[in-house]
């Protein structure tokens, strides 16, 4: 008889362990919800409608807006390009040329960029010697 009672109690304990609590309160539901991702501070990715390559001389660098202005062609008829730099932009050309902070006015650069309308997002920036 004692064995039967112990076996029944053991069975109830096993069922309770697998079944969990009899009711879920609001805190349990909140714990099981998938959290929302944190808002991103970076700009949304620019989808390339027209990939392009721009080569020119740096005429301005805006470190607060992460923008490089390039000028290509003779000064009188030069075209200016404002190119946005993102954290995923790759810098090439010299070992110490690794970020927008290394870009200086007068440098010659080749930029492979994604273009959408009048906006250009640099994918690769190469220092041209």
CATH number for the domain including 112?
A: 2.40.50.320
* Segment 83-103, tens digit of pLDDT: 999 999 999 998 889 999 999
Q: How many CB atoms lie within 10 A of CB 83?
A: 22
Q: Is residue 11 part of a domain?
A: no
Structure tokens at 117: 């309308």
* Segment 8-60, tens digit of pLDDT: 555 555 555 555 555 544 454 455 565 555 544 444 554 555 789 999 999 99
Q: Is residue 6 part of a domain?
A: no
**Is the pTM of the predicted complex or chain greater than 0.85?**
no
Q: Is residue 14 part of a domain?
A: no
Q: What is residue 85's predicted lDDT score, i.e. its pLDDT?
A: 96
- The number of domains in the chain is 1
Q: Is residue 21 part of a domain?
A: no
Q: Tell me the residue range of the domain where 61 lies.
A: 52-127
Beta bridge partners of 84: 67, 121
């Amino acid at each position: 008889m004692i064995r039967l009672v112990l076996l029944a109690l053991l069975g109830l304990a096993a069922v309770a362990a697998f079944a969990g609590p009899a009711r879920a309160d609001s805190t349990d539901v909140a714990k099981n919800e998938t959290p929302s991702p944190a808002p991103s501070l970076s700009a949304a990715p620019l989808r390339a409608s027209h990939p392009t390559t721009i080569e020119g001389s740096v005429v301005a660098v805006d470190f607060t807006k992460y923008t490089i202005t390039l000028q290509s062609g003779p000064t009188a008829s030069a075209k200016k390009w404002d190119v946005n730099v993102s954290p995923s932009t790759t810098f090439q050309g010299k070992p110490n040329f690794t970020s927008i902070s290394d870009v200086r006015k007068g440098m010659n650069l080749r930029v492979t960029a994604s273009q959408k309308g009048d906006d250009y997002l640099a994918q690769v920036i190469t220092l041209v010697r």
